[in-house]
Amino acid sequence: MLAALFHENGGPEVVTVEDMDIPRPRPGEVRIRVEASSMNHLDLWMRRGLPIEIPMPHIGGADIAGVVDKTGPGTIGTLLGKRVVVNPSLEYDWYRLAPGLGSGAEPFQIIGEHTQGGFAEYAVVPAMNVVEIPDHVSSATAAAAALAGVTAWRGLTSRGGVRKHHRVLITGASGGVSSMAVQFARHLGAEVYAVTSSEERARRIRALGAHHVFDRTTTDWSKEIFRATGKRGINVCLDSVGEAIWPQLVRSLAVGGRLVSFGATTGPGGKIDIRLLFWRQLSILGSTMGTPEEFQEAMELVFRRVATPPIHAVLPLSEARRAHELLEAGDVFGKLVLDPRLQSDGSMPPGSEG
């Protein structure tokens, strides 16, 4: 099979497409003939070399959708031939069992980070991690929604506690998770505020359901949000930007407001005014991915077309390096998807489904 991988850490130039052995599913696993796998910032971090142990050479891709073509020994055979999307979380119970971690519970892991992922013609995953895709939803849409959807849903609900009429701020709103969060927050009945860059992106984010959108390149958005909320501030902020804007985010929060962080694309050092923290009785919360139940909830909303992940482009596997370059440059609205079936000219080979 062909796979997009890297043998060493570095820039996009280390990504190559090579021929590898087709993996075999072990007990409890299924093999998927991949039809779509979407990019995440996680793939950039793995390629650059975060200080964690990953299998090398490494195949990225946490978001996977395709057809089950083989099951491992003892695995339920009814999955054969089903088109499925993969929950990228492994051992998420590690978080729910956190108070008793001394008992030797397995740590949380992510497919495509701690294991080989979906940037290949075939991928092997636990059978318990797959959810069947309804006929009216494309594999590209399902893959683009997987990690982004569950991350946005948990961040807003289980961690952020968003309720009807809450004022919710989404930063980095053109990103994969954030563009889903805009739609989910609107569905929850919140008044949605969003920050992005450029008027074109602002227009597209309004079309997703945001009530107020601020272009950070042309305005002092934190002051504008203060005015737009009638000087009341934001109830819940879902942030992936991190270091560059944390002082403004904390200032924008209402009394009792919650800042939920799921990423740090501009750096890990979040500076805040501690006086605001205690005087306004603020909460700062972390959120990562989601439980199997939350994954199912988020995907059901996608299947019902309550939320749809914006897809910037669907590229052939041969353009994996270009996908890394585009995402790293920030020239993406929504998600980039790799489809191993696509030819270099963008066409499908004979016998492939569109």
- Average pLDDT (289-312) is 97
77 pLDDT band, cuts 50/70/90, is: confident
pLDDT at 205: 97
Residue indicated by tokens 């890990």: 268
217 pLDDT band, cuts 50/70/90, is: confident
- Average pLDDT (61-73) is 96
Q: Which of 173, 168, 232, 166 is nearest to 198 (CA)?
A: 173
- CATH says 161-286 is which class? alpha beta
218 pLDDT band, cuts 50/70/90, is: confident
Q: Which of 147, 51, 129, 119 is nearest to 91 (CA)?
A: 129
Residue 243 CB-density burial (10 A; 0-12 exposed, 13-18 middle, 19+ buried): middle
53 pLDDT band, cuts 50/70/90, is: confident
Helix (H, G, I), strand (E, B) or coil at 10: coil
pLDDT at 76: 74
pLDDT at 219: 84
pLDDT at 354: 43
Residue 147, both tokens: 């990690």
Q: What is the pairing mode between strands 191-196 and 212-215?
A: parallel
pLDDT at 105: 62
pLDDT at 348: 72
Which CATH code is given to the segment(s) 2-148+290-339?
3.90.180.10
Residue indicated by tokens 């139940």: 293
- Average pLDDT (235-239) is 98
169 pLDDT band, cuts 50/70/90, is: very high
What is the tens place of the pLDDT at every residue in 249-271? 999 999 999 999 999 888 889 88
**Percentage of the chain surpassing pLDDT 90?**
83
pTM: 0.93
- Average pLDDT (140-146) is 98
330 pLDDT band, cuts 50/70/90, is: confident
- Average pLDDT (207-213) is 97
pLDDT at 98: 60
What is the tens place of the pLDDT at every residue in 7-46? 999 999 999 999 999 999 999 999 999 999 999 999 999 9
pLDDT at 102: 47
pLDDT of residue 290 exceeding 60, the answer is yes
Domain boundaries along the sequence of the chain: 2-148+290-339, 161-286
Full DSSP string of 264-276? -TT-S-----HHH
How far does Cα 75 stand from its chain's mean position? Answer: 28
pLDDT of residue 121 exceeding 60, the answer is yes
